[in-house]
Amino acid sequence: GENVEQHPSTLSVQEGDSAVIKCTYSDSASNYFPWYKQELGKRPQLIIDIRSNVGEKKDQRIAVTLNKTAKHFSLHITETQPEDSAVYFCAASVKAAGNKLTFGGGTRVLVKP
C-alpha cells in the first residue's frame, strides 16, 4: 500500500521567515495530495491541495509543489506569522482506490515572534 514520509518532524522559524515541509510517497498511482493544518486538540483543516496534473499551486502565503517523477511534494509558507504555529500533515490518495488518504507523520511548526 501507499507510504508517505514527512520531514522534518519539527520546524522552528523566526516570524517573517519561510517554512518548507517535504513529503515523499511510494505509490506512483497517487493523484491527489492535500495538506492539513491541525491546532492542538482540534480537527485537521484543509489548507491547500494539488492534483497530479498540476506542478504547482499557490494561495496567498501558501504554495505546494509536486514532482511526480521523484514522487515528492512540498509545502511552502512565506512570511510566517505566529498563527501559523500548528502541526501540518501531508497526505496522498489514489482516486481509483476509493480516495483513501494516507497521511505523513506530521510536522510541528513553531513560529517565534
Partner 1 sequence: DGGITQSPKYLFRKEGQNVTLSCEQNLNHDAMYWYRQDPGQGLRLIYYSQIVNDFQKGDIAEGYSVSREKKESFPLTVTSAQKNPTAFYLCASSLHREQETQYFGPGTRLLVL
Residues that bind partner 1 (CB under 8 A): 1, 4, 6, 32, 34, 36, 42-46, 49, 51, 89, 91, 93, 95, 98-106
> Closest approach of Cβ 20 to partner 1, in Å?
19
> Closest approach of Cβ 109 to partner 1, in Å?
14
Instruction: Tell me whether residue 6 or residue 74 sits nearer to partner 1 (CB atom).
Output: 6
Q: Nearest to residue 32, comparing CAs of 101, 104, 103?
A: 101
The three grid cell numbers given for residue 80, joined into one nine-digit string: 510566517
How far apart (Å, rounded) are the C-alpha atoms in residues 108 and 55? Answer: 25
Instruction: Tell me whether residue 71 or residue 78 sits nearer to partner 1 (CB atom).
Output: 71
The three grid cell numbers given for residue 96, joined into one nine-digit string: 481509483
